[in-house]
């Protein structure tokens, strides 16, 4: 005797779910999460190290760069820099961090408003 469901369809999945096109909601949800949760900016040192790596690759495009050796060189260069030399990286980080804090606060407010409206409309409790 043959099973009532084809081999490719799991028995717990309804026939509607197997015939429906793939849901675009997964992409939409990941896009919403990306839009609502800002990413913390990289540190001033990391921005410096990335710039140095970019410059090294531009100067020697055919030569592979060993990550551990490059990390040591970049760290030594950063430590040898004066405060004035580090200032552009630190100022850029501070500006990006301020923007990040504002976006994070806005994101939390949007999330908080959604949570409070959901709670207030569904609960019949009186305010304290």
Which one, of 89, 53, 51, 90, lies nearest residue 68 by Cα? 53
Domains, the chain, in order of start with CATH, read: 42-114 (1.10.30.10)
Q: How many CB atoms lie within 10 A of CB 74?
A: 19
- For residue range 47-104, what is the model confidence (pLDDT) as tens digits? 999 999 999 999 989 999 899 999 999 999 999 999 999 999 999 999 999 999 999 9
Q: How far apart are CA 101 and CA 99, in angstroms?
A: 5
pTM, two decimals, is: 0.58
Q: How far apart are CA 96 and CA 80, in angstroms?
A: 24
Question: What is the SS3 assignment for 98?
Answer: helix
- For residue range 12-61, what is the model confidence (pLDDT) as tens digits? 444 444 455 555 566 665 665 556 678 999 999 999 999 999 999 999 89
């Amino acid at each position: 005797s043959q099973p009532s469901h084809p081999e490719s369809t799991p028995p717990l999945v309804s026939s509607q779910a197997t015939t429906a096109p793939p849901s675009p909601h997964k992409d939409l949800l990941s896009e919403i999460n990306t839009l609502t949760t800002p990413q913390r900016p990289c540190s001033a040192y990391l921005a410096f190290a990335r710039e140095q790596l970019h410059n090294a690759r531009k100067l020697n495009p055919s030569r592979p760069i060993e990550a551990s050796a490059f990390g040591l060189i970049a760290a030594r260069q950063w430590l040898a820099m004066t405060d004035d030399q580090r200032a552009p990286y630190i100022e850029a980080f501070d500006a990006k961090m301020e923007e990040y804090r504002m976006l994070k606060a806005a994101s939390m407010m949007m999330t908080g408003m959604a949570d409070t409206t959901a709670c207030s409309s569904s609960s019949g409790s009186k305010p304290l």
